[in-house]
Amino acid sequence: MFHKSKSVNELLTLHNVKTYMNKKIFLLGIFLLIPGAQSDEKHESDIPEAGSIWQLKKNGSPNLSSGPGQVVYFLSSDAYHTYRSRKFQMWDSFSSVDVRNLVRLQKNDAVKIIDFKFEGAIYKVELLDGFHKGKKYYLIGEELKKNFKQENKQNENV
């Protein structure tokens, strides 16, 4: 009789373990699906479409020490490190950027969106005006939304 009760206890324990594991797998599946659905919504609404043209409406840097103009970066990593340092206030891990890898845009200069990186935090742009016309650089996404305005598509058709 003792032998039968031991096997029943093992079955109950095994059944409890299976139920517990099924619940954990279900919850894990839910937590993996929800952020994926939210990130899809972000990509559709927040990120400008490739090929759109944006014009600088104001100079991005108000400080006289850093000079006038909106900065674009030659390397995407430089732009991302600057973005990350601003966002998280982690200036101790900030990487310095060589001035030769920066270009300053002036008011009314236009850029064309080529692609985005780092979930829309950084945009690859082609410069449409100035000395560096036709070259590809990287722009921080927040600065695009704050300092640029999208040109109307109707003006291009006229």
Domain layout of the chain by residue ranges: 1-46, 48-153
DSSP E strand boundaries for 93-146: 102-105, 110-117, 122-127, 136-140
pLDDT digits 0-9 by tens, 51-63: 999 999 876 554 4
- Contact in structure between 136 and 125 (CB atoms under 8 Å): yes
pLDDT grade for 65, boundaries at 50, 70 and 90 = very low
pLDDT digits 0-9 by tens, 135-152: 999 999 999 989 999 987
- Residue 94, pLDDT score: 63
Taking the C-alpha atoms of residue 49 and residue 53, their distance in angstroms, rounded to an integer, is 9
- Residue 158, pLDDT score: 46
Closest CA to 80 of 67, 62, 69, 94: 94
54 or 156, greater pLDDT: 54
Percent of the residues in the chain that have a pLDDT greater than 90, as a whole number: 24
- Residue 127, pLDDT score: 95
- Contact in structure between 144 and 95 (CB atoms under 8 Å): no
2 or 97, greater pLDDT: 97
- Residue 64, pLDDT score: 43
- Residue 139, pLDDT score: 94
Taking the C-alpha atoms of residue 50 and residue 28, their distance in angstroms, rounded to an integer, is 35
